[in-house]
């Protein structure tokens, strides 16, 4: 994935359409408006494909899972309700579930054990140090050594700019679990970075 591809993924969806416009498109799509459904597809395709490509690691599976994601969107959009998480988080949740099904089918994915959230002051300092020591570009290169769940948390938070609540919704976890995964992932990256500098 080139730097240009990454910057396209990182660009906030709001830059393309406001949340009000997205809501109107969803409401029209729920009534069967094909133009609205096509526009939702076009608006979200690059980010969903990018997330799946980063998650599964190959173009063929990412393309297949992206197609499945939008088919599920078409099947389920009538059930979607605007609540705490935006439409994009709901769509990412579908993509995430399909990716996990893909890994389970291949028997390559093991869920990471949930541990209690770290103490506030330790968490903040470890995150601050890790983020200062590691730039976005080098983080994307280093996350390959992390667990799948840690990779997903960092990707959703730092590449796709989702908050803790939205990331928790997408991954089907609590906000505390997301914070814990993020803390451990960043601490691990900081150790890798320190070893690489020696």
Residue-wise pLDDT tens for the chain (198 aa)? 444 444 444 444 444 568 889 999 999 999 999 999 999 999 999 999 999 998 888 899 999 999 999 999 999 999 898 876 789 999 999 999 998 888 877 765 455 555 444 454 444 455 555 555 544 445 556 677 788 888 888 888 888 888 888 999 899 999 999 999 988 888 887 777 677 666
Biggest CA-to-CA distance, the chain: 60
pTM reported for the whole predicted model: 0.66
Angle of helix 3-10 versus helix 34-56 axis, rounded to 10:
130
Q: Is the dihedral of CA 148, 151, 156, 160 positive or negative?
A: negative
- Give CA–CA dist 45/47, Å, rounded: 6
């Amino acid at each position: 994935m080139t730097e240009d591809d990454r910057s396209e993924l990182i660009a906030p969806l709001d830059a393309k359409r406001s949340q009000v416009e997205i809501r109107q498109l969803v409401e029209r799509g729920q009534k069967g408006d094909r133009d609205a459904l096509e526009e939702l597809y076009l608006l979200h395709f690059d980010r969903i494909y990018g997330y799946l490509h980063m998650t599964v690691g190959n173009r063929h599976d990412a393309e297949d899972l992206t197609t499945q994601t939008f088919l599920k969107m078409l099947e389920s959009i009538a059930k979607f309700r605007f609540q705490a998480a935006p439409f994009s988080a709901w769509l990412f949740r579908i993509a995430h579930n399909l990716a996990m099904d893909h890994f389970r089918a291949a028997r390559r994915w093991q869920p990471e054990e949930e541990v209690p959230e770290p103490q506030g002051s330790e968490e903040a300092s470890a995150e601050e140090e890790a983020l200062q020591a590691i730039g976005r570009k080098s983080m994307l290169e280093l996350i390959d050594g992390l667990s799948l769940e840690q990779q997903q948390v960092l990707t959703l938070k730092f590449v796709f700019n989702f908050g803790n609540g939205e990331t928790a919704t997408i991954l089907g976890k609590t906000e505390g679990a997301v914070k814990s995964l993020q803390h451990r992932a960043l601490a691990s990256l900081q150790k890798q970075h320190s070893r690489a500098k020696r």
